[in-house]
Chain A
Amino acid sequence: DMKVTQMPRYLIKRMGENVLLECGQDMSHETMYWYRQDPGLGLQLIYISYDVDSNSEGDIPKGYRVSRKKREHFSLILDSAKTNQTSVYFCASSLSEQHTEVFFGKGTRLTVV
Chain B
Amino acid sequence: GDSVTQTEGLVTLTKGLPVMLNCTYQTTYSPFLFWYVQHLNEAPKLLLKSSTDNKRTEHQGFYATLHKSSSSFHLQKSSVQLSDSALYFCAWNNNNRIFFGDGTQLVVKP
Q: A residues within 8 Å of B by Cβ?
A: 4, 31, 33, 40-43, 45, 48, 50, 90, 94, 96, 98-102, 104-107
- Asked if A106 contacts B93 (CB within 8 A), the reply is no
- Asked if A31 contacts B96 (CB within 8 A), the reply is yes
The answer to whether A42 and B93 touch (CB under 8 A), given A102-B98, A104-B44, A106-B43, is: no
Collect the chain A residues with CB atoms within 8 Å of residue B103's CB.
42-43
Q: Mark B42-84, 1 if CB is under 8 A from A, else 0.
A: 1111100101000000000000000000000000000000000
Number of contacts between A and B (CB, 8 Å)?
Answer: 54
Collect the chain B residues with CB atoms within 8 Å of residue A94's CB.
93, 96, 98
Bound-state Cα–Cα, A42 to B45, Å? 14
Bound-state Cα–Cα, A4 to B51, Å? 26
- Asked if B89 contacts A43 (CB within 8 A), the reply is yes
Contacts beyond the supplied A42-B103, A99-B32, A102-B91: 10 A-B pairs with Cβ under 8 Å: A4-B43, A33-B98, A42-B100, A98-B32, A98-B94, A99-B49, A100-B93, A102-B93, A104-B44, A104-B45
